[in-house]
Amino acid sequence: MFFSGKDSLSRERRLELAAFQKAADLRFRSLELLNLSLTHRSCGNEDPLHAQNNERLEFLGDAVLGVVTASCLYTLLPDRSEGELARVKSYVVSEEVLSEEAKAIGIDRFILLGKGEEQSGGRSKKAILADAMEAVIGAYYLDVGFEAASRFVLSLVEPEVRKVLQNRHHKDYKTILQEYVQKYYRSYPAYSVVRRTGPDHDRTFWISCAVGGVEYGPVSGKNKKEAEQNAAKEAYDAIIGSGGLEAARLTQIEGG
């Protein structure tokens, strides 16, 4: 399926896109479609030539990324439960991981941003880079089909899965939990200091985490940051392990 937009790419931009494809090991038939995947919405506010942006492609790419990753995990981990597969998947497709992969293939250098977004450091914002990564996946799927897009996704996913299996991945549970809750429940986790114990030089913080009306913890840590991470982990493990927030809420009601 080809992109049918008007060919308006300058020679300079074509050279940039060629360099990007070489770095990413991709072969697009439609440079216009690739360019669209690298066009942030901030461009449309300043240049009528960029009235379209990569948000629709991001939506599509998210779906392609999800199904390829789920299929990969189902095949690679035949002895793991649904909850464990979901836990690994949420890390592999997280904003943290996708933004790093985006930088590795040069998206931060070739993405098109409006002047305001450029000046505010948009080229290094994790959300923008992760979204563009998904948009590139969506564009590649449209351009060359599912098989080639799947190979590209697997080249990104499989190394991250190995990191998880070897316990070498960075586990920022506050970020992982927030992304999960935002994506599936359109809300945010809330953290509360329940109590502090010990002298000033050896203080222990006890923090609870509330998600969708369900409270987890309190969990302790030697400082607020550590306690929040521990509370986020407890909440995330409970939500994923029970099959989602509604199931976690039922489990807590039945247990109480």
Would you give the distance in Å from CA 95 to the centre of its chain? Answer: 3
Instruction: Answer for the pair 152, 146: CB distance below 8 angstroms, yes or no.
Output: no
Helix (H, G, I), strand (E, B) or coil at 53: coil
Copy the structure tokens of residue 12. Answer: 């300079």
How many angstroms separate the CA atoms of 177 and 236, rounded? 6
| Single-letter residue type at 25 | D
**Consecutive H or E run containing 202:** none
The candidate with the shortest Cα–Cα distance to 153, out of 92, 96, 95, is 92
| Single-letter residue type at 225 | K
- Of 16, 32, 101, 134, the active-site residue reads 134
How many angstroms separate the CA atoms of 206 and 211, rounded? 17
Copy the structure tokens of residue 249. Answer: 């809420």
Burial class (CB in 10 A: 0-12, 13-18, 19+), 132: buried
Instruction: Answer for the pair 64, 153: CB distance below 8 angstroms, yes or no.
Output: yes
Copy the structure tokens of residue 40. Answer: 């942030």
- Of 16, 58, 62, 228, the active-site residue reads 62
Active site includes 134? yes
Around Cβ 18, how many Cβ atoms within 10 Å? 13
CA-based end-to-end distance of the chain: 54
Q: In terms of DSSP bridges, do strands 204-211 and 190-197 run parallel, antiparallel, or are they unpaired? A: antiparallel
Active site includes 202? no
Catalytic residues: 62, 134
